[in-house]
Amino acid sequence: MRLSLDHMTIRQRQALTAYIFLAIPAVFYSVIRFYPALESFYLSLTKWNIVSPTKQWVGLANYQRLFKDPVFWKVLGNTFEYVAIGLPTTLILSFLVAYYLDKVKFGQGMLRAMYFLPHIASAVAMAWVWRWLYQPPPIGLFNNILTQLGIGGQPFLTSTVQAIPAITAPVVWAGMGFNIVIFLAGLKAIPESYYEAARIDGASNFQILRRITLPLLKPTVLFLAIINTIQLLRIFDQVYNMTQDGLGGPLNSTKPIVLHIYHSAFHKFDMGYASAATVVLFGILMLITLIQMKVLGKKS
């Protein structure tokens, strides 16, 4: 009897300690995470210019406006274009580098560092470096090279067609470092004995890649696909810094959804409309995460 009472007090004391340790974090998560998330949903149902003391309830009007707004469809299309270009390029290039880097014995650390360096540099600083590289001749490096090769200068960031790929390039370039490191970790986790067995059976390098390496790397590929997709859907820094006055031009041709939200909320003070756009972004990200869970769940 006594023993169990003592036992109880220890457990109660443990619980009490836990609640004390969690007190400040509980306030933080309620006030800085959950309340704002709910407020976003609420704001998306109102019309508000942030200055006026009252928010006018408008129901789903902001969502109706969004879906009737050609600019919204344009930015949604742009956002998916960043993903469509950036995702396969990042995955394929990173895998190729990691696959061969894994086989290198001499100077592997140095080579890896060279590919990783862009990942660690400030994204805003690198956006300006790339913006400079894209300048018309005689300033920009790319146009200088193209002119010397006789291909002729390209408009890059000032073209409605070339600007999205031109902005995606530094995103891929900076993201490769991270992707390569994760791919390398995945490759190193594959037991050497699998390769040896395959080689004894007379399998070629390509057969080993197709039958052993790629299937075993599937979870890594999936993880990276999701991470990169989410990052590309949320693209902002590069577009803001590589387009004139951060407007996502020319003619909204590079404007992604986050930049549209930023302008609607903090330049036009159309808080309800901007909140509705954040809810749509949230929905898209949720959908992609759910698809990930489903596919991952099936595999394991």
Residues 250-269 contacting other proteins, CB under 8 A? 258, 261-262, 265-266
Task: Look up residue 246 and give its amino acid.
Answer: G
Work out whether 67 is an interface residue with other proteins (CB under 8 A).
no
- 38-57 positions binding other proteins, by CB under 8 A: 39-40, 43, 50
Least Å distance, CB 289 to other proteins, is: 6
Name the residue nearer to other proteins (CB basis): 149 or 161.
149
**Cβ closer to other proteins: 122 or 160?**
122
Alpha carbons 126 and 134: distance in angstroms, whole number? 12
Count Cα atoms within 13 angstroms, Cβ side, for 213: 22
CB 44 within 8 A of CB 275: yes
Q: Does 248 bind other proteins (CB under 8 A)?
A: no
Query: Rounded CA gap, 42 and 39, in Å?
Result: 5
Query: If binding is defined by CB under 8 A, does position 22 make contact with other proteins?
Result: yes
Site for other proteins contains 92 (CB under 8 A): no
Looking at residues 170 to 189 of the shown chain, list those that interact with other proteins (rule: CB under 8 A): 170, 173, 176, 178, 181-182, 185
User: Does the footprint of other proteins cover residue 150 (CB under 8 A)?
Assistant: no
* Residue of 225, 226, 230 lying closest to 258 (CA atoms): 230
- Exactly one of 67, 88, 100, 199 binds other proteins (CB under 8 A); which one? 100
Among 221, 247, 285, 296, binds other proteins (CB under 8 A): 285
Largest CA distance in the chain: 93
Q: Does 113 bind other proteins (CB under 8 A)?
A: yes
Q: Which stretch binds other proteins (CB under 8 A): 1-9, 33-41, 57-65, 146-154?
A: 33-41
Q: Any contact of residue 139 with other proteins (CB under 8 A)?
A: yes
Position among 6, 7, 8, 18 found at the interface with other proteins (CB under 8 A): 18
Q: What are phi and psi of 273, to 5 degrees?
A: -60, -45
Q: Count CA within 13 A, CB hemisphere, residue 196.
A: 3
Per rule CB under 8 A, is residue 276 in the interface with other proteins? no
Shortest spacing between CB 224 and other proteins, in angstroms: 9
Q: What SS3 class is residue 48?
A: coil
**Alpha-carbon torsion angle 162, 164, 165, 166, nearest 10:** 80
| Coil vs helix vs strand at 47 | strand
Contact flag: residue 118 with other proteins (CB under 8 A): yes
Helices (H) and strands (E) in the chain — how many of each? 15, 2
Backbone φ and ψ for 106, nearest 5 degrees, come out as -95, 125
Site for other proteins in 205-234 (CB under 8 A): 227, 234
